[in-house]
């Protein structure tokens, strides 16, 4: 297999790159396809949900203190009675399962397969969701990827961020509505945080390149996890009634 040493704007110039333009990875650098990888991914999703529950508990306690301090009263018990009457706790369980499934489907390509195609220092090359190739007579061996330079690169990454938002938005929408039925203030706050995270993700990605979107991703993940955590608390409170 032919290997070239090339400086590239796509990533680390000190690495070996294939003639196709993709980075050369040693077998020791690639993620394996064993069950252990799936267990690792499952563990990550469980930990994320646990953090979401902790955030939900803290946010709920803070909102209750705010209500007492401001003299405003809220009565989530009425909503919980409705949930219990119509056995809607199963709906809230389903929403948590949906949220975790969306996270799994988003993370599986990255955790398991992406590490077999490109390393962490591949830079803006990592913004590619697919790697294409030419076929037919006279087809070249070069991989076909997103343009990453200049204004076109910023445009591509901004749209990549939009795609990532769409991938996650459906679950967030139904979580917002379900949580808002019981805790409208918290639903508003965490949805606002999610929106701020998405805007930060897009602007960071477009202007700063791969890696600069991390803070926005973190904020949106925290907000989504907290909404799922609140669903867990709603189920728990309904069961205890």
pLDDT at res. 207: 97
Give the model's pLDDT for residue 12: 52
Cα(210)–Cα(189) distance, integer angstroms: 28
User: Cα–Cα distance between 66 and 186 in angstroms, integer?
Assistant: 12
Whether the Cβ atoms of residue 157 and residue 124 lie closer than 8 Å to each other: yes
13 has a pLDDT exceeding 90: no
pLDDT in tens, 187-208: 999 999 999 999 999 999 999 9
134-157 residue pLDDT tens? 999 999 989 999 999 999 999 999
DSSP 156: H
Q: What is the pLDDT of residues 40-99, one digit of tens each?
A: 999 999 999 999 999 999 999 998 887 655 555 568 889 999 999 999 999 999 999 999
**Pairing state of beta strands 132-133 and 16-17?**
unpaired
Q: How far apart are the first and last CA of the chain?
A: 66
The pLDDT value recorded for residue 15 is 67
pLDDT score of 201: 99
Tell me, what's the pLDDT at 72?
Answer: 59
> Mean pLDDT score of the chain, rounded to an integer?
90
Task: Kindly state the average pLDDT of the residues 183-188.
Answer: 96
118 touches 12 (CB < 8 A): no
């Amino acid at each position: 297999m032919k290997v070239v040493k090339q400086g590239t704007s796509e990533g680390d110039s000190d690495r070996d790159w294939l003639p196709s333009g993709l980075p050369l990875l040693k077998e020791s650098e690639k993620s394996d396809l064993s069950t252990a990888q799936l267990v690792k991914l499952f563990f990550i999703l469980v930990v994320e949900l646990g953090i979401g529950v902790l955030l939900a508990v803290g946010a709920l306690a803070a909102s209750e203190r705010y209500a007492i301090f401001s003299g405003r009263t809220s009565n989530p018990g009425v909503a919980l009675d409705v949930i219990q009457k119509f056995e809607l706790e199963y709906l809230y369980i389903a929403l948590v399962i949906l949220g975790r499934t969306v996270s799994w489907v988003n993370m599986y390509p990255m955790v398991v397969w992406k590490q077999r195609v490109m390393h962490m220092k591949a830079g803006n090359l990592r913004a590619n969701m697919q790697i294409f190739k030419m076929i037919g007579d006279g087809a070249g061996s070069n991989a076909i990827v997103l343009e990453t330079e200049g204004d076109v690169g910023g445009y591509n990454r901004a749209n990549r961020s939009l795609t990532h938002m769409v991938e996650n938005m459906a679950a967030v929408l139904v979580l917002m509505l379900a949580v808002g039925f019981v805790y409208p203030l918290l639903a508003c706050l965490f949805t606002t945080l999610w929106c701020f995270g998405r805007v930060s993700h897009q602007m960071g990605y477009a202007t700063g390149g791969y890696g600069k979107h991390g803070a926005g991703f973190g904020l949106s993940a925290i907000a989504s996890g907290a909404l799922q955590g609140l669903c867990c608390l709603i189920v728990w409170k309904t069961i205890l009634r």
